C-alpha cells in the first residue's frame, strides 16, 4: 500500500506537503524499519477490536513483505458487495486500480489547490472508479 502512495511519483515533485502526506499514509497503514514490520493506526484499531469483527477481513492485515505482496486490495472488506470487480483474464484487481490511478486526475468540481488536496482527490477518484461507483 505505502509503496504506491507516494505523491512524488504522481507529480514529479517532492515538497513539504508530499513529505507530510507520505508520512501520514505510513502511520495510517504500515511501514518497515529495515525488515521489521511497523503497524500503523489501522492495524492498531483492528487489534483493539480483535477477535471481534471489523469492517475489513482478517486477511487484509498481513505483516510480512511476501504476504503483503500477495494481498488482494480489491477484497479487503468483509462484505463482498464492496469488493472491486476482477480485472479480467490477464490482470487482477490491483492492476485495474493502478490503471485507474494512472488515468484519473482531480476533477474541476473538486476544487483542489494544494498538492495534498490533489493527491487525495486523485486516490479517491481511482478507488471510486475501481469499485464502479
pLDDT tens digits along 63-96 = 998 998 888 878 888 888 878 777 665 567 777 7
CA gap 2, 22 in Å, rounded: 8
- Residue showing cell 488515468: 103
Strands 30-33 and 36-39: antiparallel
Please give the model's pTM, rounded to 2 decimal places: 0.60
Domain ranges in the chain are 2-130
* Residue 73: Cβ-neighbour burial (10 angstroms; 0-12, 13-18, 19+): middle
Report whether 73 contacts 97 (CB < 8 A): yes
Amino acid at each position: 500500500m505505502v509503496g504506491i502512495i507516494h505523491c512524488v511519483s504522481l507529480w514529479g515533485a517532492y515538497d513539504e506537503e508530499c513529505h507530510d502526506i507520505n508520512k501520514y499514509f505510513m502511520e495510517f497503514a504500515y511501514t518497515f524499519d529495515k525488515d521489521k514490520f511497523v503497524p500503523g493506526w489501522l492495524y492498531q484499531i483492528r487489534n483493539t477490536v480483535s477477535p471481534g469483527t471489523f469492517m475489513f477481513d482478517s486477511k487484509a492485515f498481513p505483516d510480512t513483505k511476501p504476504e503483503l505482496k500477495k494481498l488482494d486490495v480489491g477484497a479487503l472488506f468483509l462484505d463482498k458487495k464492496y469488493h472491486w470487480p476482477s480485472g479480467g483474464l490477464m490482470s487482477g484487481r490491483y492492476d485495474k486500480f493502478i490503471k485507474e490511478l494512472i488515468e484519473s486526475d482531480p476533477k474541476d468540481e473538486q476544487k483542489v489547490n494544494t498538492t495534498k488536496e490533489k493527491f487525495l482527490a486523485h486516490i479517491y477518484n481511482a478507488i471510486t472508479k475501481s469499485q464502479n461507483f
